[in-house]
Every structure is written in structure tokens, then in C-alpha cells.
Structure 1
Amino acid sequence: MTAAVALLSLGGTIFMAQDAAGGGARPDDTAGERLLATVAGEATLTSTALANISSSDVRPHHLRDVLEHARAAVDGGAAGVVLTHGTDTLEETAFLLERYWDREAPLVVTGAMRPASDVGADGPANLRDAVRAATAPSARGLGVLVVFDGHAHLADRVTKASSRAVSAFASEPGGPLALVERQDLRLLQRPLPRAAQLPGAPPHRFPAVPLLAAGLDEDFALLDHLPPALRRGLVIDGVGMGHVSPAAMPRLRALLAEGVPVVVAARPASGGTSTHHYAYPGSEVDLLAAGAVMAGLLPATTARLLLQALLADGADGARIRAAFEAYAS
């Protein structure tokens, strides 16, 4: 008897088709039936289309629906859950779902870089591998996984590394967690402990948290014009190991003095932020002394989501700092 897997869909390229000239991909409701037929022998599938949208249109209320259906499916006996999703924000959805996923069964997120109508469509293989990961014994207890191009990634480590390649996703540091095989995952490294979770589900809308990029001659003058609704928190995509211009420090110090949490990430794709390498004005040591929080290995986009989720849950400064320490580099 094959294992039961719940397949949930929010759409994305995996459920899109191109025009006759091979461009202009758009959502195609007929692609789902063709895709499901390719994995019919892998498990007993129950399919639910929650939406058929691009991933840039995914909102927190969609993820509330995913969690509700996924929990009900697992509690009803499903071995695991697969969610299909567009790739543009797939890493963000996986990261957010990991904050709330509270079952031993795996929740596996996948998608495609090529539309279903393409002769080289990667959706069928990705969906097959996601279904296999959802039933893999080694995947239990690992939380939310991203499966793409034959590899499984932990939700807290995965990033979209290419806007075009079918091997679009990578993990920092250390590479993917596992290879996906027919009967189980072949682990390539020991899984990291899961970070502390949040209760329930995300709110319908998160608190607004601006994300500003540091760079040459950037003093964050925009902060002088932020209305109160946009001063709940701030994330900086810092240069180097999490640095800003010395000219930006007075504004950041003023914001921190008001009790506004400021999280600083590192712009380079690998390495993360530091806490001690540099002590010049605008460096990580200067920022920490002012009260900022370092994002560690989290890129700025997911650091922003974590801060938003924590603020929505009423977290104070100490709890925010502790949450980011789980990603220290």
C-alpha cells in the first residue's frame, strides 16, 4: 500500500503555459491534471488547489490556508505534504512556514523554472522528488524542506541562487541537506537543530518593516521621512560583514534609542554577518554597541520576514535578539 501525500498548490511556473512563440508564460488551470498524471504511481495523492498565482502575489493569508490544510491532512493520516509554489518567493514561503510548522511529518515545497508547456519542463521531476521526500523516513522531524533539481534543502538555509537555471536553489552554508532517492533521502550532512517556532499561523498581514540597502554614500536619509506606521522595525542589507556608512549611524542610533529594532544582514551571498572583526564607525562592532541585531547567516529578505513574524507575535527586544542568535555565523 502506497503512502498518502497531500498535494497543495499555490500555482507558479510549474502550473503555467507559454504562448505559441515560447514566451509570455501565464497560469494555466489545465496544467495541473497533466502534472498529477506524471506522479500518480509515487503515492496516494489528494490534491487541493488553494490558488493559481505567481509567487509575487502570495500573501500571509495564503500561508494560513496552507498550514490549515497541511495540518488537517497530516492529522488525518497523510505521511507528508507537498506544496507547489512559484520560485520567485519560494524561499520566503518555506522560511515562514518553518516558523509555524509543528508536525513531525515533512512539509515539502517545490516548483519549476520552466513552464509546464516547455519541452524541457522541470516540474514533473521536481514534483516526483517532492512526493518522495514527503514520504522519506529520514525527512521526519526536519520541518519544512525545499526540493528542487534532485536535492533537498532546509527551509532556514535555502536561497534562490539563479533567476534562470533549473538548479535554481542553493543552501548556505554547506550546500544542500540531501539527495532525493526513490525510497529515502541520502543525507549529505547532519541536519541542524530547528530554530524556535512561533505558535499558530501568520497574521493576515505582517507589520510593515522597511528593508534598506547599505552602499557607497548611503546615509539612509529616507529614515527622516518614515511615518510612524513604518517605524515598527528596520532591516539593513549591510555591506561586507554587516556594515553601513559612518554617515548613516546618527539616524540608526536615533531609531534604536526610540526602541525600534534594527536588524543588519550581510549583502554578500555567503559568510553572513560578524560580531567582532571590525570596530570602525559603521562597522558591526559599532552597530552592536548602538543596539542593533546581527542577522548572522540570514539574508536580508528572510531576516525581514523573521522580524515581521516576531513583531506580529508581540516579541520584545530580548526575544528578537535571541531569535536571531540561532542564525549566528
Structure 2
Amino acid sequence: MSAFVEVLSLGGTIFMTEDARGESARPDDDAGARLLAAVGGDVELRPRALANISSSDVRPHHLRAVLESARAAVDSGAAGVVLTHGTDTLEETAFLLDRFWDREAPLVVTGAMRPASAPGADGPANLRDAVRAATAPSARGLGVLVVFDAHAHLADRVVKASSRGVSAFASEPSGPLAIVGGEDLRLLHLPLPRPARSGGLPPDRFPAVPLLTAGLDEDLALLDHLPAEALAGLVVDGVGMGHVSPAAMPRLRRLLGEGVPVVVAARPFGGGTSTHHYGYPGSEVDLLDAGAVMAGLLPAPKARLLLQVLLASGASADGIRAAFEAYAS
């Protein structure tokens, strides 16, 4: 059986068109066929539409369908798999899929910042580059990649850095993994070993894990109205290296004392959380002493997903801590 690339689609801007004024982009079921025809190339593309929705509407069952379809395609001879997806939550989907992707063949996620009907639409080039990455020898064994604007990013590192520009994605702290072009990737650095895979499929439903943002004079008083039994866990997007107001500490200590896992991420784009730089009330040292877990290089949305997957699998407190240590900064 000759090699091919399976092109799965959940929709997103790449498969949207605008109204007559060039505004208000909406899903267009015909945009996918036009896009695939525009890409062309020597590789056989086998499209399969799983949904045509905005990325804010992606649910766990969509991601289960992606994994099942992608695994089946690779097991049937696909050289790799491409997934088109809206950009708003693309980094989260890529990260979650990477936790479960257990094939050597690449699973490449891409999308577009400009609708298919817009002048200078970036979807065709991104899809072409994603197909190239899906067949690239250097991409094998790297897990899930995000390809955008001629660059490939690791799922663990990629973040959406612009809400408007076509160079919408970046990787911190390493920068992009590779430049996409020709028959193989041009690697810019060697990636670290991938953290352990979870196996199986994502949960049908994610446990309730709110994400709260720390900031000036933020004492997380909302927690007074959220009983511990209503929370499976909590993620706090902390300031600096992962800090909260001293006034928030009694509330976090209460949750931790009741057995609710608390993970603290860092709001700044680069650098991640620390474990030892500061020892004042509300600092990372204070949080660790209280029993919190630091997210390391994971931004808060990815930390939330990881905690949800761990909780759904019944992970212990030690198991949760060990999983996050793989991302220590």
C-alpha cells in the first residue's frame, strides 16, 4: 500500500469564509475541498472531516475521535496525519493529543489566521507545510507538532502569541523546533525526551478544575464561594515566577488541607515557575511548603489540562507532582 497523509479536520478559521464586507467569518463546508485542491503536491491526501466548528467549541469527544482516526490511519499505512483546527485553543489540543499520541508517525496540527476567502489567506501554505512535516523523516518520533508560518513547534512548548498576526505561534524558551521546507525539516535544535505518554484515550469529561489568575490585590476570594467538594483541583496563573498575594494563602492552604490539588503556573510568557528564588508570603517557596505543585514551563491552560487528565486517571498526589516535574524550569 502506497503511503498517504490523512487530513483530519475539526474546522476553524482555515475552513471559514467572510461575509460580503470581509467580516464575521463563519464555518464554510465547501472551504475544505477548495483548500485541499489548492495544496496539490505529490503526496496523496485523504481528507476526513470530523467537525467544522470554532476551536472554542472543541470538546473531549472531538479529541477522542481525532486520536482514534489518526491511529487507524497510521496503522493502515499513512506516513503521517494532519489535523486542521481553530487557532484559539490549538495549543491546548496539541498538548493534550501529545499526551496520548503513541505512534512514531507525526501528528501535525495546523490552521489559519485568515479565513479562506480573505486576501492573502494563510491556510493553503500552512496546510502544505503541515503535509510536508507529516512526511518528514526528522519528524518521526517527535509526537504532536504544530506547524504554522513555515515553522514547526513542539506541542509542549507552543503558545499562541498573537491574536491577529499570521506568525501567531511561538515556542518558549527554546524557539521553534524546525523550519519547514523541502522534503525534510530543518531542525533548529534537538528536543528533550518526551514526557511519559498516558496511553488510551482522553477522558469523556474533564474533572472540574477552575483556572484563576493572580494579580495586584487579588486575594482569590472567589474560593470562599466554591466548596472543596465542588473542585477536583485548582490552577492559579501566578505573577512572576509563580506567586500569589499573601492574602490568598489562607484560602489555598484550606483547599490543600482538604486534599484539593493546587497547581501554580507563571503568567509571564517566558521563564516558567521557580522553586527557590523567593521565600516571602505568597512566593513559590511558601506555596510549595503549603503543598502546592509548580507548573514549571507549562502555561496555565496546559497545566489545567494536564491536571484534569491526571485526576481523571486517578493519579495520586505523588503522581501529580511527578508528572509536573517533567516540565520543571
TM range (shorter): over 0.9
Root mean square deviation, CA, Å = 1.0
The 5-angstrom pairing of residues 5-20 of structure 1 reads: 5-20=5-20
The 5-angstrom pairing of residues 61-140 of structure 1 reads: 61-140=61-140
Deviation at 1:254, TM superposition (A): 1.0
d(CA) in 2 for partners of 1:41, 1:110: 17
The answer to whether the 8 A contact 2:64-2:202 is kept is yes
Deviation at 1:229, TM superposition (A): 5.1
Residue number in structure 1 paired with 2:327? 327
Deviation at 1:182, TM superposition (A): 1.5
Residue number in structure 2 paired with 1:150? 150
**Displacement over 3 Å in runs of 4+:** 227-230
In the alignment of these two chains, the number of paired residues is: 329
Residue number in structure 2 paired with 1:297? 297
Residue number in structure 1 paired with 2:141? 141
Q: Closer, same or farther in 2 for the Cα pair 1:114/1:2, shift >3 Å?
A: farther
| Offset from partner CA, 1:119-169 (integer Å, 9 cap, x none) | 210000000000000000000000000000000000000000000000000
The 5-angstrom pairing of residues 199-214 of structure 1 reads: 199-214=199-214
d(CA) in 1 for partners of 2:203, 2:259: 23
Residue number in structure 1 paired with 2:316? 316
Q: Amino acid of the residue matched to residue 70 of structure 1?
A: A
Residue number in structure 2 paired with 1:237? 237
Identical counterparts, % of pairs: 81
Q: Amino acid of the residue matched to residue 221 of structure 2?
A: A
Q: Closer, same or farther in 2 for the Cα pair 1:138/1:225, shift >3 Å?
A: same
d(CA) in 1 for partners of 2:151, 2:265: 26
Residue number in structure 1 paired with 2:44? 44
d(CA) in 1 for partners of 2:300, 2:42: 37
Residue number in structure 1 paired with 2:307? 307
The answer to whether the 8 A contact 1:2-1:42 is kept is no
| Offset from partner CA, 1:156-204 (integer Å, 9 cap, x none) | 0000000000000000112000000120000000112111111211112
d(CA) in 2 for partners of 1:101, 1:200: 9
Deviation at 1:301, TM superposition (A): 0.7
| Offset from partner CA, 1:34-80 (integer Å, 9 cap, x none) | 10012222411111000000000000100000000000000000000
The answer to whether the 8 A contact 1:208-1:229 is kept is no
Q: Amino acid of the residue matched to residue 250 of structure 1?
A: P
Residue number in structure 2 paired with 1:279? 279
Deviation at 1:2, TM superposition (A): 7.0
The answer to whether the 8 A contact 1:215-1:239 is kept is yes
The answer to whether the 8 A contact 1:146-1:155 is kept is yes
Deviation at 1:205, TM superposition (A): 1.0
The answer to whether the 8 A contact 2:107-2:145 is kept is yes
The answer to whether the 8 A contact 2:228-2:255 is kept is no
Q: Amino acid of the residue matched to residue 226 of structure 1?
A: L
| Offset from partner CA, 1:290-317 (integer Å, 9 cap, x none) | 1100000111111000000100111010
Q: Amino acid of the residue matched to residue 170 of structure 2?
A: A
Q: Amino acid of the residue matched to residue 319 of structure 1?
A: G
The answer to whether the 8 A contact 2:3-2:77 is kept is no
Deviation at 1:228, TM superposition (A): 4.6
Q: Amino acid of the residue matched to residue 177 of structure 1?
A: L
Residue number in structure 2 paired with 1:263? 263
Residue number in structure 2 paired with 1:58? 58
The answer to whether the 8 A contact 2:2-2:77 is kept is no
Q: Amino acid of the residue matched to residue 314 of structure 1?
A: G
| Offset from partner CA, 1:247-301 (integer Å, 9 cap, x none) | 1111111111111110000001111100000000000000001110000011111
d(CA) in 1 for partners of 2:231, 2:24: 39
Q: Which runs of 5+ in 1 are unaligned?
A: none
| TM-score, L = length of structure 2 | 0.98
d(CA) in 1 for partners of 2:170, 2:208: 28
The answer to whether the 8 A contact 1:42-1:132 is kept is no
d(CA) in 1 for partners of 2:119, 2:53: 22
SS in 2 for 1:217: coil
d(CA) in 2 for partners of 1:153, 1:2: 28
SS in 2 for 1:130: helix
d(CA) in 2 for partners of 1:251, 1:42: 59
